[in-house]
């Protein structure tokens, strides 16, 4: 037993000595490691001399809470979407609720899974998940919006960009540029009350 303990101690000491010499060899850090060290050192120096300030009040949280209070308290609240085309003409939709972009999904767009690597085992991967209609979307159609017409329930859709933009309000706007705005859906502003 004593001989086994001595042999184990000698092997452990040899392994430690080999490990120390292996770690302190003549290996030079890679260029990437040098640049990463420089970046981290620079960041640490900047944080020490210019730490991030803290807030005693967050105006961003105030605005988020305003959004929640505006849109999250009344089911079916009307929204007023004003669209301007390339010629500068205005039209509008009155929608039940907010317009939604195709980028929004009720389900997470990715799902965690295991990938079989054969003899090498498996690896965790993140894969694109199917949407509720059984198709896969790429979040690349974020300029298309849709909603529900306020009085008829009809589906309406439009795109922004390429010389068309939109403004969204929680109430009708009596602004000079909207005076000639034409309804783009069945609902007219003067026929609804929010």
The model's pLDDT over 106-129, given as tens digits with 9 standing for 90+, comes to 777 788 888 877 787 778 888 887
Q: Looking at residues 51-59, what average pLDDT do you find?
A: 95
β strands within the chain, DSSP E? 78-84, 90-96, 100-101, 110-116, 122-128, 144-148, 155-159, 165-169, 182-183
For the chain, give the mean pLDDT.
84
Residue 135 has a pLDDT of 76
Q: 132: Cβ–Cβ under 8 A, 6 or more apart, which residues?
A: 106, 107
Residue 139 has a pLDDT of 66
pLDDT classification of 48: cutoffs 50, 70, 90? very high
User: Among the ranges 2-11, 44-53, 155-164, which has the highest mean pLDDT value?
Assistant: 44-53
Res. 73: pLDDT tops 70: yes
Res. 2: pLDDT tops 90: no
Domain limits of the chain? 78-101+147-194, 104-140
Query: In this prediction, what percent of the chain has a pLDDT beyond 90?
Result: 54
Res. 169: pLDDT tops 60: yes
Residue 116 φ/ψ, nearest 5 degrees? -75, 120
């Amino acid at each position: 037993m004593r001989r086994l303990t001595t042999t184990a101690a000698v092997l452990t000491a040899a392994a430690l000595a080999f490990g120390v010499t292996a770690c302190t060899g003549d290996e030079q850090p890679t260029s990437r490691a040098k640049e990463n060290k420089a970046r981290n050192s620079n960041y640490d120096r900047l944080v020490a001399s210019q730490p991030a300030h803290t807030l005693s009040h967050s105006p961003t949280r105030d605005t988020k809470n305003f959004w929640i209070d505006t849109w999250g308290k009344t089911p079916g609240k009307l929204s007023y979407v004003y669209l301007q085309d390339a010629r500068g003409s205005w039209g509008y939709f009155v929608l039940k609720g907010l317009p939604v972009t195709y980028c929004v999904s009720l389900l997470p767009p990715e799902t965690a899974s295991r990938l079989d690597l054969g003899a090498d085992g498996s690896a965790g991967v993140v894969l694109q998940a199917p949407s509720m209609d059984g198709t896969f979307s790429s979040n690349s159609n974020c300029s298309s919006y849709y909603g529900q017409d306020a009085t008829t329930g009809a589906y309406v859709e439009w795109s922004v960009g390429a010389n068309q933009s939109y403004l969204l309000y929680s109430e009708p706007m009596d602004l000079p540029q909207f005076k000639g705005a034409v309804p783009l859906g069945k609902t007219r502003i003067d026929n609804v009350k929010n």
